[in-house]
Amino acid sequence: MNKTNGHNNEAILSLANNLRWEIGESFHDKLMESIFANATTIAQKSVTTPIEKPTFSFDRALDRIVTSPVLGFPMMFLILAVIFWLTIEGANVPSAMLASLLIDTFHPILKDFSLTIGLPWWLGGVLIDGAYLAGAWVISVMLPPMAIFFPLFTLLEDFGYLPRVAFNMDNLYRRAGAHGKQALTMAMGFGCNAAGVVAARVIDSPRERIIAIITNNFSLCNGRWPTQILIATIFIGGAVPAHLAGLVSAGAVVGIAVLGIVFSLVVSWALSRTVLKGEASAFSLELPPYRPPRVLRTLYTSLIDRTLIVLWRAVIFAIPAGIVIWLVSNITVGGESIAEIFINWVDPVSLIIGLNGVIILAYIIAIPANEIVIPTILMLTVLVTSMAGVGSGDGVMFELDSVTATEDILMAGGWTLLTGINLMLFSLLHNPCSTTIYTIYRETKSVKWTVVSTLLPVVMGIAVCFFLTQIWRLVVGN
Amino acid sequence: MNNRMMKMIDANKCTACPVHNVGNLKKLGINMKNYDYVVALAGNPNTGKSTVFNNLTGLKQHTGNWPGKTVTRAEGGFEYNSSKFKLVDLPGTYSLLSTSTDEQVARDFILFGQPDVTVVVVDSTRLERNLNLVLQVLEITDRAVLCLNLMDEAKRNNIKIDERQLTKDLGIPVIPTEARQSVGMQDLINAIFEVASGKFVCKPYRFKSKSKELNYAIEKLSQEIKEAFPDIPNATWVALRLLEGDQSIIEAVGTGELGNIKQVNTSLEEIKLKVESI
């Protein structure tokens, strides 16, 4: 059929050519014009619109505020701050309850049970003090904040606020040579970087999509807030008068989050001018009408689709990490545990960047899930400073009942205000967790970009901590 | 008492009416084996395609109030009147005449995936603008259903739409819905079934241009295409693309591939895979 038609086909093409020539370049415009004209005629016959549009003016009035050049950004930070605050405040009590249930109640029961059935001490240690505790920690630290943050964020999304954020941020990202929609993926990253990386699919251009994926890690994720909040409370809140402590430490956390946005802009700018050169592509962003959010449906989808899936992945990754923590603190070489040997070895180097060996080891062990950084740091500190009377034995992750007790341990470990600030910065600027690294690989299918996204933030974190420490020591002299 | 009786009678009438027979619908989720009909969901961004999709299939695709949420095709199934339907949720597009990749996925699927029914979901509060896409879809396929979604918002804004007039003008079933509240879904399913099974024969509106030379060119060219490729249902569309100078269609005509839909189909599967893997 193809062959017999060959001649005909040529005739069609040349006819098309001639006709195209006759109509001229305006073909597309003329075609669109007639489609528009037809649509108008049809619509006019069946649609009756009121002369006044009362509800439209509500949308417009709201848009005038949330996308205004003056109020847009403050509103954005305020809304984010309120969501963070609700998450932080709301998660405290259920977190403590979960921790007391899973760690204070179930853990001893499991320990006793393992003794009763005569499990070898090392097997009981690996399974119960390692794997079980790591999983329990991730659930009690991660589940409550996510169960509050994701529904709140999804409600905001359902209401129609996200396109306004993109509208506000678009210009900044465009000037940085990235896609305006990166503002959306950045916002998703505040919940979970892995989710933010997946969300980068909305960006068509591969170049801009990779920029969005690499810089997503600069959005402070759920797993890193507990670290930020605890350290800010102890060291920054502790450095100011008591009545200002809460406000100042909350401000410090928001400050770190904003710093993350600044870093994402700077890195996007640098990437789009070096390895990922190109023009920012234009896109049209339609601001949808505000819609009353469907609360129940939102709760369901955000709890089932987001919270539980993200939590499940974190638990999967945390369990082997718990085993590793138990092993490195219990396997000894020449009287010292592997953990202690490593800490003593990296301590001198890490002091140059204002951190310490414990923090470095904790970050290496906690690559799978950032949530377990603080428990790991505390446990390792106790191990090294050999404080008597705290914790429940070598290689057991625990969290102390009060902030003061935590502070005592950290002070005993030689921590200063500088260590605290550096830990906050390093928590913002370090490699993504393994879930995110895996997601980056799945989305980019490229080892190269996965490695870049993993190492770039670490290098930046080390550099920033190094310079801050040197300047600090010059100025403060400590 | 009387009122209650009336209500009972009304309720009985409703259950007896085939249109409201909810029991007929079986949500099949992702189980789409041995389907009888393929249904495509097209429409402008952020008109609620994914919400309609979730309603019909029982799946829980993430929905969000921002354009461009659906990034890849989602597929699901449902059963109605003992026919099985495979439903394909396409990325939102403003037009089928541009060259961007997301719009290409939607356009290629409607053109070459040959869905049995294409449901165009439109935002009732912005009907005029949305109709531009509807008219383009009607140039490609003659089996379509118009889903006037977000009717609740239209009501809120005192916008009234005469759907009978619209049905008459467009020549396809027009169903008002409020997908977020699952209102009108039964009518939509029924309309899809009627178009798919041939009970409702669409007489799709074909647009006319004011420009005589444009009309002449389209007419003449599509006549030739119809003669060369009698099997393809959308000669006018091919003519439009040729006049526009669409390279892929020029090639498809030149090699005669256009006549062999199956062949085009496989190459398009490859294109889709590429698009999804980027």
pLDDT digits (tens, 9 = 90+) for B229-252: 877 777 888 888 888 877 777 887
Q: Which two tokens stand for residue A135?
A: 């999983």
Residue A319 has pLDDT above 60, yes or no: yes
* Per-residue pLDDT at A459 exceeds 90: yes
Which residue of B60, B94, B132 is in closest CB contact with A36? B132
Work out the pLDDT band at A21, boundaries 50, 70, 90.
Answer: confident
pLDDT average, residue stretch A38-59: 76
Task: Point out the domain boundary residue: B174, B197, B220.
Answer: B197
Residue B2 lies in a domain: no
Cβ A288–B132 below 8 Å, yes or no? Answer: no
Residues in Cβ contact with A172 at an 8 Å cutoff, skipping those fewer than 6 apart: A183, A265
Question: Of A365-374, B158-167, B255-264, which range is least confident?
Answer: B255-264
Asked if residue B66 is part of any domain, the answer here is yes
A79-104 pLDDT, tens per residue?
877 776 777 667 777 877 888 888 88
- pLDDT tens digits for B84-128? 888 888 877 888 876 555 666 777 787 777 789 999 999 998 898
d(CA B135, CA A42): 10
Question: Could B65 and A159 be called an inter-chain contact, meaning their C-beta atoms sit closer than 8 Å?
Answer: yes
- Cβ-defined contact of A28 to B244 (cutoff 8 Å): yes
Asked if residue B88 belongs to a domain, the reply is: yes
Q: Could you give phi then psi for residue B62, rounded to 5 degrees?
A: -65, 130
- Residue B33 pLDDT: 64
pLDDT of res. B273: 43
Q: Work out the average pLDDT over B210-236.
A: 81
C-alpha separations of B25 from B142, B179, B188, B189, B193 in Å: 25, 16, 12, 8, 11
Establish if B10 belongs to a structural domain. Answer: no
Q: Give A1's contacts (C-beta < 8 A, 6+ positions apart).
A: B256, B259, B260
| Same-domain status, B216 and B180 | no
Contact B65 A158 (CB under 8 A): yes
Query: Which of A47-61, A324-338, B48-62, B180-194 shows the lowest per-residue confidence on average (mean pLDDT)?
Result: A47-61
Q: Which amino acid is residue A446, in one-letter code?
A: S
- Give the model confidence (pLDDT) of A392-436 as tens digits: 455 555 555 555 666 777 777 778 888 889 989 998 998 888 878
Tokens 């402008």 belong to residue: B44
Q: What is the pLDDT of residue B190?
A: 92
pLDDT at residue B52 tops 80: yes
Work out the minimum CA distance from A255 to partner chain B, whole angstroms.
Answer: 28
- Cα distance between the two ends of chain A: 87
CA A432, CA A430: separation in Å to the nearest integer?
Answer: 6
B272 vs A277, higher pLDDT? A277
Structure confidence at residue A239 (pLDDT): 75
Q: What pLDDT score was predicted for residue A330?
A: 83
Partner residue opposite A38 with nearest CB, options B60, B135, B224: B135
- Check B45 against A286: CB less than 8 A apart: yes
- pLDDT value for B31: 62
How far apart, in whole angstroms, are the C-alpha atoms of residue B276 and residue B273?
A: 5
Model confidence at A478, in pLDDT bands (50, 70, 90)? Answer: low
* pLDDT tens track for A153-193: 778 877 888 778 878 887 888 888 888 888 878 877 877 78
The mean per-residue pLDDT over the stretch B16-25 comes to 53
Query: Does B181 fall in a domain?
Result: yes
- Residues of chain A above pLDDT 90, percent: 11
Q: Is A37 on the interface with B (CB under 8 A)?
A: yes
- Greater confidence (B183 vs A251) lies with B183
Residues of B in Cβ contact (< 8 Å) with A164: none
Query: What tens digit of pLDDT does each residue of A96-133 get?
Result: 788 888 888 888 898 888 888 888 888 888 888 888 88
pLDDT at res. A425:
92
DSSP code of residue A308: I
Q: Which of A284-288, A338-342, B49-53 has the lowest mean pLDDT?
A: A284-288
> Residue B4 pLDDT > 90, yes or no?
no
Confidence of residue A457 (pLDDT cuts 50, 70, 90): very high
pLDDT range class, residue B271, cuts 50, 70, 90: very low
Q: Could you tell me if residue B166 is inside a domain? A: yes
* Residue ranges making up the domain that contains B37: 17-197
For chain A, what are the domain ranges? Answer: 73-299, 310-475
Q: State the pLDDT confidence band at B13, using cuts at 50, 70 and 90.
A: low
Residue of B100 and A321 predicted with greater confidence: A321
From the CA of B11, how many Å to the nearest CA of chain A?
A: 28
pLDDT at B267: 43
User: Is B260–A8 a contact, with Cβ atoms under 8 angstroms apart?
Assistant: no
Interchain contact A92–B (C-beta under 8 A): no
What lies within 8 Å, CB to CB, of B173 at 6+ separation is B145, B146, B167, B191, B194, B195, B200, B202
- Which of B138, B164, B197 terminates a domain? The answer is B197
Average pLDDT, chain A: 80
Per the structure, the count of domains in chain B is 2
User: Do B108 and B169 share a domain, yes or no?
Assistant: yes
ipTM exceeding cut-off 0.90 for this assembly: no
pLDDT recorded at residue A402: 54
State the pLDDT at residue A211: 92
Beta-ladder partners of B149: B123
Q: How distant, in Å, are the alpha carbons of A228, A384, A400 from that of A357?
A: 19, 10, 21
Euclidean distance between the first and final Cα of chain B, in Å? 65
| Averaged pLDDT, B177-195 | 91
B90 shares its domain with B158: yes
Contact A182, A203 (CB under 8 A): yes
CATH of the domain at B190: 3.40.50.300
Domain membership flag for residue B35: yes
Does A42 sit within 8 Å of B131, measured CB to CB?
Answer: yes
Identify whether B1 is part of a domain: no
Quick one: pLDDT at residue B147? 96
To the nearest whole angstrom, how far is the Cα of A154 from the nearest Cα of chain B?
8
Is it the case that residue B265 has pLDDT exceeding 50? no
State which of B151, B170, B197 marks the end of a domain: B197
Amino acid A67: pLDDT:
84
Any residues with CB less than 8 A from the CB of A461 and at least 6 apart, and which? A425, A426, A428, A429, A430
